Structures are given as structure tokens and as C-alpha cells.
Amino acid sequence: MNTQSPQNNQEPSLYLFLKEFEPFIRQSCKFITRYQFRITGQGSETICEIIIRSVNGYSSPDEFLEQLTLMMDSSISAVFESLQQSPFSSWQPPLEYIESRLQDLTSVVEEESVIYNDRSGKCSRHRHFKSFTNCYLEGLNEDNSLMFGQSIRLATVKYAEVWLQVISDTINRLHLKYETIKQSYQATLVPPVQLPV
């Protein structure tokens, strides 16, 4: 039986990242998208629209942004609290490691493209959009998910953009907090100016 703690089995920066960013990492494992179809109009005026009910339980991109930001606020505070147990001179490597791992989490969003044809069948528009690579569709039956999968992912584009925004904001905030503490730390090391007598 192995009695070592997880930290002893992992590189310290990895342990710190996995421990403090666990809620956000869990979100990245799969993006469960619940959707439904809404049909309006009649006859030739009938329009079928895809409605996104939720992504990972969040019913709007604004709620997704708010909750991910709260997760990251908590994680950033916990990281700096952990770092305070070691000398300031050792902080930069784990923070750089965390930044690189957060950057890796942007890979769950990819660029997709969709081609719109006019009535004659010619390409009239080519649109690029961001979507989750590990999107799990929950709604109607499997055939509809296969047939309308790209359209459903297109409807979640704002969620994918929020994901990237939250990661970028978090990296910027880690930098800012580190630089603020660094300036404060350096100010305490500067000897007081001796005024002439």
C-alpha cells in the first residue's frame, strides 16, 4: 500500500495546478449541451430553430461567464495563499507552469467552418466559428444529434468564446497579482534614502 501523499507523487507545480483549479478543470472534461428544436410558422413559412437550454448546466453565456469567473477568483486566491508558504523567489516557476496549463485548456475550443449555399447550390457564405471539441449533445434522439450536430455547436459559440475569455482574463490576473506583490516586495528591500545632514 502506498502511503505517500499525492503531492509526493507529482511535480509540485502540477499538484498545485490540479488542486487549486480542479473545479475549472472538471468543467473542461466535457461540455454537456442540452438543446431543443422550436418550430414556428406554417407551410412555406415554417422555421425550425435550435434552442440551447444549457451548457454544463448553465442556461446562458452570461451565467457561464459569472460562474467560471467565480471559480477562477477562488483558484487564484488559493494559489497565492499556497505560494505564501514558500520564499517569494520561488513563485515564478509555478505561476509560469499554471499559465501554460491554463493555456493548454484553450485547446478544448477549436475553429470550425460552415458553408451556406444559395438556392442554386453555389457557396454564398463561409462562416468560421468557435466550438467545443468535446461537446456532448443531450436533447432529442441520436440521429438528430448527428444530423444537426454542427448547427447545435454553432448555437453554443458564445459559450466557447466565454471559455477562452475566462482563461485569458485569469492569466492576466495572475500576472498582475504577481507583479503587484513583486513591486511591494522589492520596495521593502530598497534601503531608505539617507538625507544629507
pLDDT tens, position by position, 90-129? 999 999 999 999 999 999 999 887 765 556 656 666 678 8
Average pLDDT, the chain: 84
**CA 106 – CA 166 distance, rounded (Å):** 10
Q: State the DSSP code for 50.
A: E
Please report the pLDDT score of residue 185 as a whole number: 78
Q: Does any domain span residue 175? A: yes
Half-sphere exposure of 4 (CA within 13 A, CB side): 6
Q: How sure is the predictor about 81, in pLDDT bands with cuts at 50, 70 and 90?
A: very high
- Tally of CB atoms within 10 A around 22: 13
Q: How sure is the predictor about 45, in pLDDT bands with cuts at 50, 70 and 90?
A: confident
Q: Does any domain span residue 124? A: yes
Counted domains in the chain:
1
Please report the pLDDT score of residue 117 as a whole number: 59
**CA 151 – CA 147 distance, rounded (Å):** 9
Given a cut of 80, whether residue 30 has pLDDT beyond it is yes
pTM, rounded to two decimals:
0.81
Q: Does any domain span residue 191? A: no
Q: Does any domain span residue 185? A: no
Q: Which three cell numbers stand for residue 111?
A: 475553429
Please report the pLDDT score of residue 95 as a whole number: 96
Q: For the ranges 26-35, 68-77, 143-152, 177-186, which has the lowest average pLDDT?
A: 143-152
Parallel, antiparallel, or unpaired for β 123-132 and 47-55? unpaired
Q: Which residue has the higher pLDDT, 63 or 139?
A: 63
Q: Does any domain span residue 1? A: no
Q: Which residue has the higher pLDDT, 86 or 118?
A: 86
Find the mean pLDDT for residues 8-32: 89
Residue with C-alpha cell 448546466?
57
- What residues make up the domain containing 138? 6-180
Q: Does any domain span residue 31? A: yes
Q: Does any domain span residue 189? A: no
Please report the pLDDT score of residue 191 as a whole number: 55
